[in-house]
Amino acid sequence: MAPMTTLKGDPFDRTLFESVTKRRFFFTESFEIYRVAPNFQGDNRGLYDYGPPGCALQANIVDLWRKHFVLEENMLELDCTVITPEPVLKTSGHVDKFADWMCKDAARGEYLRADHLVENVLASRLARGVNGPSKNSPKLDEATAAEYQNILAKIDNYDGPELGDLITKFDIRNPDGNGEVLPPMPFNLMFKSTVGPSAAAPVYLRPETAQGQFLNFRKLLDFNQGAMPFASASIGKSYRNEISPRSGLLRVREFLMAEIEHYVDPEKKEHERFDEVTQLRLPLLDKGTQLAGQTTPRNVSIEDAVKSGTIDNETLGYFLGRIMLFLLKIGVDPSKIRFRQHLDNEMAHYACDCWDAELLTSYGWIECVGCADRSAYDLTVHSKFTGTPLVVKEALRTGPVKVERWQASLDKKLVGPRFKRDAKAVQASVEALDQPLLEKLATELNTTGSVTVDTATPLADGSSSVELSRDLLTIQKVTRLETVREYTPNVIEPSFGIGRILYCLLEQVYWHRPQDVARAVLSLPLAVAPTKVLIVPISAQVQFTPITRKLSSRLRAFGIANNIDSSGASIGKRYARNDELGTPLGITVDFDTLANGSITLRERDTTSQVRGPEDEVLQAVKNLVDGTESWHQIAGRLAPFSAHGQNDD
Amino acid sequence: MAPMTTLKGDPFDRTLFESVTKRRFFFTESFEIYRVAPNFQGDNRGLYDYGPPGCALQANIVDLWRKHFVLEENMLELDCTVITPEPVLKTSGHVDKFADWMCKDAARGEYLRADHLVENVLASRLARGVNGPSKNSPKLDEATAAEYQNILAKIDNYDGPELGDLITKFDIRNPDGNGEVLPPMPFNLMFKSTVGPSAAAPVYLRPETAQGQFLNFRKLLDFNQGAMPFASASIGKSYRNEISPRSGLLRVREFLMAEIEHYVDPEKKEHERFDEVTQLRLPLLDKGTQLAGQTTPRNVSIEDAVKSGTIDNETLGYFLGRIMLFLLKIGVDPSKIRFRQHLDNEMAHYACDCWDAELLTSYGWIECVGCADRSAYDLTVHSKFTGTPLVVKEALRTGPVKVERWQASLDKKLVGPRFKRDAKAVQASVEALDQPLLEKLATELNTTGSVTVDTATPLADGSSSVELSRDLLTIQKVTRLETVREYTPNVIEPSFGIGRILYCLLEQVYWHRPQDVARAVLSLPLAVAPTKVLIVPISAQVQFTPITRKLSSRLRAFGIANNIDSSGASIGKRYARNDELGTPLGITVDFDTLANGSITLRERDTTSQVRGPEDEVLQAVKNLVDGTESWHQIAGRLAPFSAHGQNDD
């Protein structure tokens, strides 16, 4: 395909762009006919349906993702349930911590996301040059403007109380009606429901696909015949009960995710295929740069970024490179990608390093892929709660090693009668004690005759700890010959928001013919375009039907998605419709086809056409789809074509 | 592949079968490590995760489904949200009617599905020949046994009160503990949640993918450039909060569905491609046969079944045929399929005819595909609630026609001031009045001076009707020249439970080698097998690595999913593992390969092997996958192979 940049002269017009995606049914607000109904009292914001081209585009992106990541590296794909019992998400930390801060405008009964409120109000003051809501507010002085800019640069770094302080300090109010807002409160973002008729079992819709993968770690390792490192992957819907969805597909309550959990030995974060990406340069916006209030990324090779410690380890670097290559493959503009490192306050509580791949759109830079090193957090907490070891056992290559370890044991005859139905929980708590704690407790037990041990789950009487005396509990140092090393793997997690990627891609490939804003084009690459080839007969006469059907079925046999448009509209109109659908190629069948079997092939971006015998043209289409030939090469060897009524104008 | 029937001698052993699907991680109970944890108090029943082979099998079935239905007939695929606002499902009838009847065993605090309770208890009495729970209960006499059999034959035909009568009449109790149960109560099967921080907007997880498709009807028709008939399709998760899930994958709370909504002119239910299926014979178990207490299906050609009215119309017959062909394509045993017609009480309230494709398993006949004629029900109710017309307008081919119609009109100047914010709703209610009602109201208005009109949605004061007097409302007969015919399409809906199909298929393709119950085989056809080819080097020596990698990448270039197993296990063990994974073909690389480039190809079901040069063998694999050559043909032209240590025994 021809380079697009020369054709994309005009500034991006979101209204024109949205009219195309709506008109061509890429996506639509869900339940739209309800929203406009007179007595509808619901909230369908943040919910979108994909129409036929959006659905095909999504399927093609997912298909490429599966080939690029899952098949290329033999990842173990899982499909886990969305419905998740509360204890799982309590353990993972989501019940307590997966929340956004919101402010209530009490007068209007409206809820606003606190960080968005601060961001919008300060950005608006900066844009208007005044320090208040109206034209008559005082002018913004230079020092205050600089302060605002500094706050905006690190807006993701504030917690609720800090946002509350900013709201008070700068008298930030609800832009709708200028009412005061109450201090920020946390709002958990998970959808809650209950399962079964007794309604006694609370469940949530998963906020990410990761937890289901972690819970299956033992089975996955077993399926992988014990070999490390390896990765699992999952593609599926996740849910976040956003406080106040906006920005179309960018902030939605139901979305498709594709996540990889790559399990590594914490002492060996090298990657076998690191060589393949070392020379790739990434636009990195690291922590330090952001905290200095800067927004320009540095272009660094992955090799250098890992060597200098900017990126924590090889495996993380490898995946950042693979993410970059994937984004380029689906047609993202390389000048509109950056990798932004999470600030410390913003990073999930478990992560030790995290980068977002962000894509530039009319809404600014949008986080589309996260790539975090989640350390051993998840496997550790689930293992602790359930008492199921989620570890790797590896024969020591150096042979057996003598090790000294603290070991705790309970008197089994006494534990059962003493603790009854809590006995298992008490046993699990003692088994979960780590070496430093055991050493401390050994001294204490020796000195005072008893120790208090925390339990992972509440006991029958509601308490969360238990006292154990010397008659029940023994803690001693033992020397063992170990032949096996046991460790909890660390997890590197590349996590993709498919809907966001799809939206950003659509914005980036949108343009219009220089002579006409109403003639839009979506320059989707062949790899992801919903339909690869449009087949148009010059007129709706039935004599063309056998030929177009044959062409369609021959292309389908090559596995090439195509469509016949034999509607009565002019050829130009039918092509224009398909330019808006992002269809890269068009084949025209006309009266000469009936005479000599030749057909025309049109390229979407340049609108240039060539002509040749059916077999040659179909082979050219196949070569373009397979990527073995470019349009430039095709145009060089097939005859150029231009005929009245069949070209675009 | 060789025919399997001769090898499947033994009766099906579910325990052995389940140990294979569990050991090879086709699927597993979700959150299993939580369920076994000491203090877990949740309910994870009816929730299953698919492991790598189950996930690949599911993806392959879905992929074939998309090709067989969506691509073959240019259906318009949609991806709609799972979260659905309450008003949508109130209108569709689900909030009021989508329920199962359940009985509470008050003493145990347990809930039982009423129809399952009656079914289980009566079947158990029949099997044991006694008329009560224990051995000492009275013997079952012939008349009562016949009565029980009759009830079981039409168990799906009873509503809640009728089930309650049966429970009383036959003193049916909870088999667990023999306690009495309370009369059946309805339990709505939808999961409920709320959206947004105000929690004022109730939502449900969709119980089917259909509603999202109906709500988009206008956009779909528009996308299809107004042409009828056409179909939309959707593949996605749906949810049913089952009262008491059992039977593994067959009754789950979260499941993947694939649904087609085919929109037709109610006056033209013929199908353009009906010819292609007329001669196909289907095993039909129609209404009449079932009500006579019979269970043997009749083998009827689709042509005859439609002609005789057994199947309501051509389009329904066409889809039943296409469903049959799809099931055969994925490997379902033709002797274990039947099409059962719904009984009147069992049929959804809107349907005018409905058939289930049922597959035979160790749990009996399992409903896997439904195919219903939903008439114009859904489009009509949504149109009525929202005031958005969901209709097709078609130019009359016969030219303009003079028609007399009743027409109601409101005085617009008066309506606004009189009804204020209810004005739109009142207007919509008047517009929704149909011809017979208008005729009736015209007389009433004339006689009494006013009429009462029901409103689709409650008004501001909570009332659901409004009185309209002669000064506001006029109803008169008008004569119009109509050039356009307007109609609400009927919907034929083939609806597939992918998880159920997958489970039944696994049961049907399972067998074991005659000499050894521990050597299981899953005879999945190449089209759906998770992995098509296993590549095994004769030993784990590194000299084989470049060859196996090259073979793997050559197969991947053909689009053929393959796996290398270079673990230390014997060749026989590695093949046995892959027989259980359903891998149809195996390639062995040995020392002769290093010498002369030849490789061995093994067929899973017969365990027979052939040998040839790499290119020839890979071409044979491709031919098998494409379906252009059978194993019998391959074995006839390539050299047979048998060598010590490389065959199975």
Do residue A201 and residue B102 have CB atoms under 8 angstroms apart? no
Do residue A254 and residue B425 have CB atoms under 8 angstroms apart? no
Q: What DSSP character marks residue B517?
A: T
Do residue A76 and residue B198 have CB atoms under 8 angstroms apart? no
Burial of A110 (C-beta count, 10 Å sphere; 0-12/13-18/19+): middle
Question: Is the pLDDT score of A6 beyond 50?
Answer: no
Average pLDDT over residues B304-309: 96
Question: Is the pLDDT score of B1 beyond 80?
Answer: no
Question: Is the pLDDT score of B354 beyond 60?
Answer: yes
Packing angle of the helix pair A52-65, A498-509 (nearest 10 deg): 110
Contacts of A197 in chain B (CB under 8 A): 102, 111, 187, 243
What pLDDT is recorded for position A642? 82
- The pLDDT tens digits of the residues spanning A256-305 come to 999 999 999 999 999 999 999 999 999 999 999 988 878 899 999 999 99
Backbone angles phi, psi at B76, to 5 degrees: -95, 105
Contacts of A194 in chain B (CB under 8 A): 191
Do residue A458 and residue B39 have CB atoms under 8 angstroms apart? yes
- Higher per-residue pLDDT: A403 or A507: A507
Residue range(s) in chain A whose domain bears CATH number 3.30.720.200: 400-482
Question: Is the pLDDT score of A8 beyond 60?
Answer: no
Query: Does B460 reach chain A within 8 Å, measured CB to CB?
Result: no
Average pLDDT over residues A328-349: 90
The label of the residue with tokens 């999913």 reads B561
What pLDDT is recorded for position B606? 95
Of A51, A77, A388, nearest to B219 by CB-CB distance is A51
User: What is the edge-to-edge ordering of all strands in the sheet holding B83-85?
Assistant: B83-85, B201-205, B192-195
Closest residue, chain A, to B31 (C-alpha): A215
What pLDDT is recorded for position A585? 98
Q: What is the CA radius of gyration of chain A?
A: 30
Retrieve residue B345's tokens. Answer: 């009480």
- Higher per-residue pLDDT: A96 or A42: A96
What pLDDT is recorded for position B4? 42
pLDDT band at A10 (very low <50, low <70, confident <90, very high): low
Average pLDDT over residues A179-207: 91
pLDDT-wise least confident of A51-65, A337-351, B139-153: A337-351
Do residue A215 and residue B80 have CB atoms under 8 angstroms apart? no
d(CA B282, CA A42): 46
Do residue B77 and residue A58 have CB atoms under 8 angstroms apart? no
Q: Which CATH superfamily is domain A531-640 in?
A: Anticodon-binding domain (3.40.50.800)
pLDDT band at A644 (very low <50, low <70, confident <90, very high): low
What pLDDT is recorded for position A525? 97
Of B81, B215, B243, nearest to A254 by CB-CB distance is B81
pLDDT-wise least confident of A546-555, B425-434, B583-592: B425-434
What pLDDT is recorded for position A643? 64
Retrieve residue A253's tokens. Answer: 């309550």
Which of B60, B193, B253 is the mutation pick for testing A, counting most A CBs within 10 A?
B193
Question: Is the pLDDT score of B557 beyond 50?
Answer: yes
pLDDT-wise least confident of A298-312, A427-441, B11-25: A427-441
Query: Does A141 reach chain B within 8 Å, measured CB to CB?
Result: no
pLDDT band at B649 (very low <50, low <70, confident <90, very high): very low
| One-letter amino acid of B17 | F
Report percent pLDDT > 70 for chain A: 97
Query: Does A188 reach chain B within 8 Å, measured CB to CB?
Result: no
Which of A39, A204, A242 is the mutation pick for testing B, counting most B CBs within 10 A?
A39
What pLDDT is recorded for position B124? 92
What pLDDT is recorded for position A2? 38
Question: Under DSSP, is residue A42 helix (H, G, I), strand (E, B) or coil?
Answer: coil
Among residues A217, A203, A180, the alpha carbon closest in space to that of A90 is found at: A203
Cα dihedral A407/A413/A418/A421 (nearest 10): 90
Residue range(s) in chain A whose domain bears CATH number 3.30.40.230: 99-188
Average pLDDT over residues A567-572: 90
Helix or strand holding residue A361 (H, E)? strand A353-361
pLDDT band at B204 (very low <50, low <70, confident <90, very high): very high
Average pLDDT over residues B352-368: 94
What pLDDT is recorded for position B3? 36
What pLDDT is recorded for position B584? 98
**Angstroms from B98 CA to nearest CA on chain A:** 14
Sign of CA dihedral A298, A304, A307, A308: negative
Q: C-alpha distances in angstroms, A178 versus A105, A117, A182, B198?
A: 9, 12, 13, 21
d(CA A127, CA A148): 11
pLDDT, chain A, mean:
91
Query: Does B10 reach chain A within 8 Å, measured CB to CB?
Result: no
How many CB contacts within 8 angstroms connect chain A with chain B? 245
Residue range(s) in chain B whose domain bears CATH number 3.30.930.10: 14-92+191-377
pLDDT-wise least confident of A151-155, A440-444, A603-607, B474-478: A151-155
Which of A79, A117, A185, A255 is the mutation pick for testing B, counting most B CBs within 10 A?
A79
* Peptide bond just before A229 cis, omega within 30 deg: yes
Average pLDDT over residues B606-633: 96
pLDDT band at A9 (very low <50, low <70, confident <90, very high): low
- Higher per-residue pLDDT: B344 or B94: B94
Do residue A191 and residue B83 have CB atoms under 8 angstroms apart? yes
In B408-447, the residues whose Cβ lies within 8 Å of chain A are 424-425, 428
Residue range(s) in chain A whose domain bears CATH number 3.40.50.800: 531-640
d(CA B163, CA B171): 12
Q: How many CA atoms lie within 13 A of B184 on its CB side?
A: 26
pLDDT band at A347 (very low <50, low <70, confident <90, very high): confident
**Angstroms from B386 CA to nearest CA on chain A:** 5
Contacts of B80 in chain A (CB under 8 A): 30, 49-50
> In b/e form, how buried is each residue of A257-285, taking b as 16+ CB within 10 angstroms?
bbbbbbbbbeeebebeebeebbeeebbbb
Of A38, A196, A425, nearest to B428 by CB-CB distance is A38
**Angstroms from A626 CA to nearest CA on chain B:** 11
pLDDT band at A425 (very low <50, low <70, confident <90, very high): confident
The CATH-assigned architecture of domain A400-482 is: 2-Layer Sandwich (3.30)
What pLDDT is recorded for position A200? 76
Retrieve residue A583's tokens. Answer: 């269809």
- The pLDDT tens digits of the residues spanning B227-263 come to 999 999 999 999 999 988 877 889 999 999 999 999 9
Question: Is the pLDDT score of B268 beyond 70?
Answer: yes
pLDDT, chain B, mean:
91
Average pLDDT over residues B378-397: 93
pLDDT band at A60 (very low <50, low <70, confident <90, very high): very high
Average pLDDT over residues B473-484: 89
Query: Does B191 reach chain A within 8 Å, measured CB to CB?
Result: yes
What pLDDT is recorded for position B422? 86
Q: Which CATH number fits domain A14-92+191-373: 3.40.50.10490, 3.30.930.10, 3.30.9.10, 3.60.9.10?
A: 3.30.930.10
pLDDT-wise least confident of A638-647, B35-44, B395-404, B440-449: A638-647
Burial of A152 (C-beta count, 10 Å sphere; 0-12/13-18/19+): middle
Question: Is the pLDDT score of A648 beyond 80?
Answer: no
Retrieve residue A390's tokens. Answer: 């989620």
- Higher per-residue pLDDT: B137 or A493: A493
Closest residue, chain B, to A581 (C-alpha): B223
d(CA A89, CA A384): 14
pLDDT band at B610 (very low <50, low <70, confident <90, very high): very high
pLDDT band at B399 (very low <50, low <70, confident <90, very high): confident
Which of B43, B71, B189, B232 is the mutation pick for testing A, counting most A CBs within 10 A?
B43
Contacts of A79 in chain B (CB under 8 A): 49-50, 54-55, 58
Question: Is the pLDDT score of B647 beyond 70?
Answer: no
pTM here? 0.89
Burial of A407 (C-beta count, 10 Å sphere; 0-12/13-18/19+): middle
Query: Does B464 reach chain A within 8 Å, measured CB to CB?
Result: no
Of B52, B80, B457, nearest to A38 by CB-CB distance is B457
Contacts of B52 in chain A (CB under 8 A): 76-78, 220, 223
- The pLDDT tens digits of the residues spanning A450-475 come to 999 888 777 888 888 888 998 899 99
What pLDDT is recorded for position B643? 64
Query: Does A553 reach chain B within 8 Å, measured CB to CB?
Result: no
Query: Does A109 reach chain B within 8 Å, measured CB to CB?
Result: yes
What pLDDT is recorded for position A465? 87
What pLDDT is recorded for position B6? 35
The reply to whether CATH 3.40.605.10 applies to domain A99-188 is no
Question: Is the pLDDT score of A538 beyond 90?
Answer: yes
Query: Does B64 reach chain A within 8 Å, measured CB to CB?
Result: no
Which CATH number applies to B14-92+191-377? Answer: 3.30.930.10
Question: Under DSSP, is residue A79 helix (H, G, I), strand (E, B) or coil?
Answer: strand
pLDDT band at A7 (very low <50, low <70, confident <90, very high): very low
**Angstroms from A557 CA to nearest CA on chain B:** 11
Report percent pLDDT > 90 for chain B: 69
pLDDT-wise least confident of A19-23, A644-648, B629-633: A644-648
| One-letter amino acid of A456 | A
Pairing of strands B185-188, B99-105: antiparallel
Which of A48, A72, A386 is the mutation pick for testing B, counting most B CBs within 10 A?
A386
